[in-house]
Amino acid sequence: METGLKAFSVVILGGLDSFIGALIAGPIIGLAESIGGGYLTPLLWAGVKDIIPFVIIIIVMIIKPYGLFGEVRIERI
């Protein structure tokens, strides 16, 4: 199930309503996972690779909730 949920991190990073965003965010997440996993595994715990996409979700949510290419919606509650 975790593999399917990594797709969420791709769309969140790219922006939910943007096709180009998904195209660009996909390789970014993949590379971040592999490169980050490769560099961080000796430093931190083994298995950091699995958690990197979810940490990226949290970071994106805090910094830029609509992702890189998403449409910013100014909502009045």
Binding site for other proteins (CB under 8 A): 1-2, 5, 8-9, 12, 16, 45-47, 50-51, 54-55, 57-58, 61-62, 65, 75-77
Q: Kindly tell me which of 8 and 39 has the beta carbon lying closer to other proteins.
A: 8
Long-range contacts, 2-11 (Cβ 8 Å, 24+): 2/50, 5/53, 5/54, 6/33, 6/53, 8/57, 9/53, 9/54, 9/56, 9/57, 9/60, 10/53, 11/67
12 or 32: whose CB is closer to other proteins?
Answer: 12
Least spacing, CB of residue 48 vs other proteins, in Å? 8
CB of residue 35 to other proteins, shortest distance in Å: 19
Rounded to a whole number of angstroms, the minimum distance from the CB of residue 51 to other proteins is 4
Kindly state the tokens that stand for 72: 């910013």
